[in-house]
Amino acid sequence: MLSIKNLHASIDGNEILRGINLEVKAGEVHAIMGPNGSGKSTLASVLAGREEYEITEGEVVFQDKDLLDMAPEDRAREGVFLAFQYPVEIPGVSTTNFLRTAVNQVREYRGLEPLDAVKFLALMKEKMKLVEIDQKLLSRSLNEGFSGGEKKRNEIFQMAMLEPTLSILDETDSGLDIDALRIVSNGVNQLKSDKTATIVVTHYQRLLDYIVPDYVHVLYKGRIVKSGSKELALELEEKGYDWIKEEVESASV
């Protein structure tokens, strides 16, 4: 589904990603962990097509198409969804209106009829249950004045509405209370299928108790320096990152 080869990306001349290799197959969940500043959010942003990053080397193939060649909105239409670490506020646009446009654009791209108001509301109701989100929130301007947890829950709600093929969750667990963490994770899990894949960026093993990964990768200084099963996350929780940094430094001597 997604194949990243030797991906290098810079911002303002500083190289942040220094040769990422990652293969994600349909049905899989990959967790990306790593110390602060290692490039996790940059990787998520580059995949979503944020334009401030310059790709200097490498390739990303998504569903047999060159992802890096696509505009961000085309990536979204192709089924890539990024839940941001810091969701943006859009004053004057309600979540409902925003999503109606977005859902119908995606449907049009996929050759499906647009949803009329009745069908759209029915879909909203169904997906609202999934993340236990309050309808009142959805009629307010998108994310404006939402609490941190409400923004995160709203992101997962949007994801549920758009039914992406590849979901990238960037620190979706940060700022969630214990109940919200469970609800948001349940939402993500219910969207899982053998045709979709998920990349979860997180600092905390606890999220991975809920969204169980098939693979855990450690990003350090813009490279994936270690990959393993879900047990690797437990090991990191217990031991921190110093042992990995030491392994990397001694290997490069």
Ligand X SMILES: Nc1ncnc2c1ncn2[C@@H]1O[C@H](COP(=O)(O)OP(=O)(O)OP(=O)(O)O)[C@@H](O)[C@H]1O
The residue ranges that bind ligand X (CB under 6 A) are 11-12, 16, 34, 36-42, 52
Find the shortest distance in angstroms from Cβ 92 to ligand X.
26
Find the shortest distance in angstroms from Cβ 53 to ligand X.
8
Find the shortest distance in angstroms from Cβ 21 to ligand X.
17
What tokens were used for 247?
A: 């392994």
Q: How far apart are CA 170 and CA 101, in angstroms?
A: 24
**What residues pair up with 22 in beta bridges, in sequence order?**
4
Minimum CB distance to ligand X smaller for 156 or for 218: 218
Q: How far apart are CA 72 and CA 74, in angstroms?
A: 5
What tokens were used for 153?
A: 């829950």
Q: How far apart are CA 40 and CA 222, in angstroms?
A: 8
CB 67 within 8 A of CB 80: yes
Minimum CB distance to ligand X smaller for 37 or for 145: 37
Find the shortest distance in angstroms from Cβ 139 to ligand X.
32
Find the shortest distance in angstroms from Cβ 220 to ligand X.
9
What tokens were used for 139?
A: 């009629």
Minimum CB distance to ligand X smaller for 11 or for 70: 11
Minimum CB distance to ligand X smaller for 11 or for 26: 11
Residues whose CB is less than 8 angstroms from the CB of residue 230 and which lie 6 or more positions away in sequence, other chains included:
31, 208, 212, 213, 214, 216
Minimum CB distance to ligand X smaller for 192 or for 221: 221
What tokens were used for 250?
A: 């001694």
